[in-house]
Structure 1
């Protein structure tokens, strides 16, 4: 099984550049183990989730970690902070463009006129450097949310790239399946008896990084922090004991709990899930978006329900002009267990 087996052609005009005005008005394609695919909307979750179902959500919050400024020469400086924003004045950063000189200074300005500078202190290889910021407390005022490279438009509202239940700061990308929920939809599901169980997995650079190894057994993902709080542990354990259905909202929720099932409820994971993986959780299904070809996210979806089922679903979604990627439409996978 090779990476090139998980490819498809996507027309560029189907890559969503902005979210819908009302989050839960997105379309949703339903994939069952067999039979025709079903076409509807995200609010149809009210018909698919039942009393007692547990829905696992990732409550990570996207950090304002991207800075756009100037070099000393006047050229553009595009900086992504990849270390903890609360870790002091010196940060690990990724800088786009030609090589930057150690000792040079970058300058950034916030919308309120505040100025922040960063001196490059060390080259760490590739596009990664260490930089000493003049005042790390000003980063929040000068920075913006990092967006995936395939989104070319600036968002009119940054909150559109945060889930309504985002709580734990630390991600470089949103857990995008969760972007479809509104407070009203969540309350309606709770009123029906559905239980939401928050976990935390801070989405890192691996979400944007393409897989470069053809042999899937040789793939290594970037490490990402995960945590499952005691209340959610109790909810999951009780649901398992009572044999109630457990659903995941997004691939990050799956990876978080699958990582926790290895014996630790908190830590760092580089778990790579691809077809052939033996799931530890008896997932009843997953709500997810439509993912990039040959991506780790697509491979996880294929592992959950089979590539022979997912590829025809993607081709039908393309034919019916579903909106793809982070700000696009949704897919509900029902495993029938």
Structure 2
């Protein structure tokens, strides 16, 4: 009997070699290694004994032959520079590997239709079994709508995908919870520092803020459109916080802008939360170490990654869909950056 994975000359053993040495068809070996039913017990036992004697392990190519799948998933990300897309990418990669799949990842340098089509074509050429898209920007989503996606597909935070399922966090509900927290503390003059409106998350969070303010019949100042950065939060804070008394709380659309607001308030002699309450969104790892620790909205990206892979693999493997779509509920995390408004 040949030894190890080098029995066929200097090359590793293939599934065809195993089938030949076991005296069965390649399809039979495929069925055995994939645990398929309707194989005679004596045949299965014989094939497994040969596999054990050869110390053979199916590599990815052999498994692709056995299953007509590559056990790989394409992950297309339009931006890794922000905390959300970066964390979601890592969570999806971890969840895929737990299920025996590898991730082929690509980041879009340009988000026009030509570059998106080229990235998707590259995935198809690599033989991926499915594609996950993390594309928070509206311009990327519009381009994706016009591109044919030829394998099972799903997206994060995209409600209107072309036939794909959606998994994500309910941004609107998270923003409403953050706004409601400030209202329940007694704040009525709340400023929303929004993210760039080309991003779906920013749009949903702004809508949630406005909906909750309207539900409580609160006067609402037009949200300020930001760019996600701590520098913007600081600069706008330096300008707006000179209008003392016009608002007593800020709900920032992400934690970085919230940090900038806290920094600006401190420089202007305001105490957080005694003079100004501040709420963020995302619960970045540093948020609990801000001074004071930041009240924010947490998104569990590990849960998101597992759900995204569950949904996509239901399509790839033909199993029952765990759900047609899944919007996870984010969690309000109350820390020490919020308090009742100052008594005037």
TM-score (norm 2): 0.31
Q: Which has the higher strand share?
A: 1
Q: Which has the higher contact order (CA 8 A, sep 6+)?
A: 1
Q: Which has the higher helix share?
A: 2
TM-score (norm 1): 0.32
Task: Return the index of the structure with the highest Cα Rg.
Answer: 2
